[in-house]
Chain A
Amino acid sequence: MMDYESLIPAHIRDVKPSGIRKFFDLVGEKKDVISLTIGEPDFVTPWHIRVAGIESLEGGKTYYTANSGLVKLREEIAAYLARRFDAHYDPAKEVVVTVGGSEAIDIAFRALLSPGDEVIIPQPAFVCYEPLAKLAGGTPVIINTKAENLFRLTPEELRAAITPKTKMLVLPYPNNPTGAIMTREDLDAIAEVLKGTNILVMSDEIYAELTYGREHCSCAAVPGLAERTVLVSGFSKAFAMTGWRLGYLCAPAPLCRQMLKLHQYAIMCAPTTAQFAAIEAMKNGDDDVAMMREEYNRRRRFLTKGLREIGLPCFEPEGAFYVFPDVSGFGLTSEEFCSRLLEEYNVAIVPGSAFGACGEGFARISYAYSIEHIEKALECMESFVKTLRK
């Protein structure tokens, strides 16, 4: 008889299942749920991009590519980053095409952390940073960002979290789940704190194209940050290409070389079909991105206004496709609020606590859904909130 339990290393067993998973399991058990939980575009990949993938298959391009990705794609990524965000990378030595932004995050942690290195993670944040940093031997140091600061990282908070063991700062902006952004001034202030240190920044800019009202400012364009930044991004959110599993990381060559080693041994290369499609996205995708951004923006206004009207305060989300309302006014934890909303009104949203302790009191609502769908959910939420007030 095999004793499987004894085979599992403690540090793997200790990885907690995500709070979102628990909630999704609840959602899965119910029928006809109006869900606003999904963190991926409801658009299909633009047709011309799909065609580029199809044509690559028809043309028999079914081989591996270079480990770091097709030369042409890396060149296009570098040109795109320069054009859109004034970020400048050498496609030959500073760009690696990865299997989604997630792989980029993983190999950045594994290639750059030594046991005991501290990784500063501002929360609420995407659920993968903490476990992946731990699995790479790092020690997560959590900063609880605050609603009154628009969930931005302040220089004071950062300064207080830095120790001699600090190796890396994660900057997850535009932010999932809060929709917060960091402006140029905010980033300048962060650069000022990091000046003279040897601390790295891992900037997850997967939502860079989805900001509303002002253009995203990349860490790679900020003097004082650029030289210490590992830029993580990808095609999933901006080009509605989640299923293609394609992302990239950009970093100074000495760092890139090391991360590439992990990528080449563990992954070999990102999917070739997806890479050919991504070339088309980089070259001719700007209009599609603009169209989707406009649509998200309409829904963002609709949802934010709707939530405020039913008495759920929410700060103005300026990026990504989430709204993060305050649900603390009813004497319920955010998990209780979301569970009861699901139980009693069949609407699913994610408790903010799934994204870190400081997400308690909030809930993440995705607007990667049609207006009709969002409106239906709002109506149910209004009834729910009314019963809570009684």
Chain B
Amino acid sequence: MNEFLKTIENNCRLTDRQLAMLLDKDEGDIREMIEKYEKDRVILGYKAIIDWDRTDRESVTALIEVKITPQRDRGFERVAEKICNYPEVESLYLMSGGFDLAVLIEGKTMKEVAYFVAMKLAPIEDVISTATHFVLRKYKDKGVFYGAEPVDERGQYIG
């Protein structure tokens, strides 16, 4: 099971046929597994990793540290749910350490991100403070290196 998930996590564009060949299963088994994992919300979605800097689309990513006051009985849940609802929010994690929530957001410009923080995030009730860090350059995302594709430099040798 785990091998199936690891394989598809690495490349979700593999066809059912390819997955069947890689994992020594029937295509029917593969379809069943995918359906089940999707239904159980183990597989949540399929997305591409895109280097927007290589396109003409402007894009800026920021990591925002958020400190909040936890609520009686509900902890951080309510605030987290609220923040999740903004479409600008790419990822949201509850953190250990010096702050509570890490919000990863993507906007077109720094101004747009700043506006989001000032007008939407910071005013949320129970948010104590925010600290915004802009991403200057991405080197690696989800295990994938940015930049040129590595070249196969292996030499032809006798063996």
Seen from chain A, the residues whose Cβ lies within 8 Å of a Cβ on chain B are: 18, 20-21, 24, 27-28, 37-40, 42, 126-128, 176, 294, 298-299, 301-302, 305-306, 371, 375
Which residue of A is nearest B3, CB measured?
A: A294
How far in angstroms is the closest Cβ of chain A from B104?
A: 25
B129 interface residue (CB < 8 Å to A): no
* Docked CA distance A21–B156 (Å): 9
Looking across the interface, which residue of chain B has its beta carbon closest to that of A25? B156
Shortest beta-carbon distance from A290 to chain B in Å: 12
Assess whether B156 is in contact with A38, with CB atoms less than 8 Å apart: yes
Q: Which residues on the B side are within 8 Å of A301 (C-beta)?
A: 21-24
Cα distance, A126 to B21, chains bound together (Å): 28
CB of B151, distance to nearest CB on chain A (Å): 12
Q: Quick one: closest B residue to A348, CB to CB?
A: B156
Q: In the complex, what residues of B have CB within 8 A of residue A128's CB?
A: 158-159
Query: Which residues of B have CB within 8 Å of A294?
Result: 3, 6
> Is B7 at the interface (CB under 8 A from chain A)?
yes
Is there contact, CB below 8 Å, between B156 and A24?
yes
Contact B159 A21 (CB under 8 A): no
B1-38 contacts to A, CB under 8 A, are 3, 6-7, 11, 14, 18, 21-24
B152 and A42 contacting across the interface, CB-CB below 8 Å? yes
What residues of B have a CB within 8 angstroms of the CB of A302 in the complex? Answer: 18, 21-22
Is A305 within 8 A of B24, CB to CB? yes
Question: Which residues of chain A have C-beta atoms less than 8 A from B18's C-beta?
Answer: 302, 371, 375
**A-B pairs with beta carbons under 8 Å apart, 6 shown:** A24-B156, A38-B156, A128-B159, A298-B7, A301-B22, A305-B24
Q: Which residues from chain A contact B142 at a C-beta distance below 8 Å? A: none
Q: In the complex, what residue of chain B is closest to A177 when comparing beta carbons?
A: B159
Residues of A contacting B21 in the complex (Cβ-Cβ under 8 angstroms): 301-302, 305-306
Known: A21-B158, A298-B23. 15 other contacts (CB 8 A): A18-B158, A20-B158, A24-B158, A38-B154, A38-B156, A39-B157, A40-B154, A40-B159, A127-B158, A298-B7, A301-B21, A302-B21, A305-B24, A371-B22, A375-B18
Q: Kindly count the residue-residue contacts between A and B in the assembled complex, taking CB atoms under 8 Å apart.
A: 46
- Rounded to whole Å, the gap between the CB of B95 and the closest CB of chain A is 26
Chain A residues whose CB sits within 8 angstroms of the CB of B152 once the complex forms = 42
CA distance A302 to B25 in the complex (A): 11
Q: How far is the CA of A18 from the CA of B156 in the complex (A)?
A: 13
Q: How far is the CA of A237 from the CA of B158 in the complex (A)?
A: 15
Q: Given A298-B23, A302-B22, A305-B24, are A126 and B154 neighbors across the interface (CB < 8 Å)?
A: no
CA distance A42 to B152 in the complex (A): 8
Q: Given the known A-B contacts A127-B159, A294-B3, A375-B18, are A42 and B154 also in contact in the complex, defined by CB atoms under 8 Å?
A: yes
Interface centre among B11, B18, B156, B157 (most CB of A within 10 A): B156
Query: Which residue of chain B lies nearest to A21 when distances are taken between CB atoms in the complex?
Result: B158
Query: For A39, what are the chain B residues with a Cβ–Cβ distance below 8 Å?
Result: 157, 159
Chain B: minimal CB distance from A318 (Å): 13
Q: Which residues of B contact A38 (CB under 8 A)?
A: 154, 156
**Shortest Cβ distance from B55 into chain A, in angstroms?**
23
- Is B156 a contact of A37 with CB atoms below 8 Å? yes
CB of A176 within 8 A of CB of B3, answer no
Q: List the A residue with the shortest CB-CB distance to B11.
A: A371
Residues of B within 8 A of A40 (CB): 154, 157, 159
CA distance A112 to B108 in the complex (A): 72
Please list the 6 inter-chain residue pairs (A to B) with the smallest Cβ-Cβ separation, ordered nearest first: A24-B156, A298-B22, A302-B21, A39-B159, A301-B24, A305-B21
* CB-CB nearest in chain A for B159: A39
Contact call A20/B7, Cβ cutoff below 8 A: no
Q: Which residues of B contact A20 (CB under 8 A)?
A: 158-159
Flag B140-159 by CB within 8 Å of A: 1 or 0 each.
Answer: 00000000000010101111
Whether B24 lies near A28 (C-beta < 8 A) is no
Give bound CA distance, A386 to B83, whole Å: 58
In the complex, chain A residues whose CB is within 8 Å of the CB of B3: 294, 298
> Nearest Cβ distance between residue B49 and chain A, in whole angstroms?
16
User: Cα distance A301–B23 when bound, in Å?
Assistant: 7
Q: Which residue of A lies closest to B7 (CB)?
A: A298
**Nearest CB in chain B: distance from A254 CB, A:** 31
Q: Which A residue's beta carbon lies closest to that of B2?
A: A294
CB distance from A347 to the nearest CB of B (A): 15
Least CB separation from A305: chain B residue: B21
CB neighbours of A305 from chain B (8 A): 21, 24
Residue pair A27, B156 in contact (C-beta under 8 Å):
yes
Q: Which residues of B contact A24 (CB under 8 A)?
A: 156, 158
Which single residue of chain A is at the shortest CB-CB distance from B25? A301
Q: How far is the CB of B145 from chain A (nearest CB, A)?
A: 11
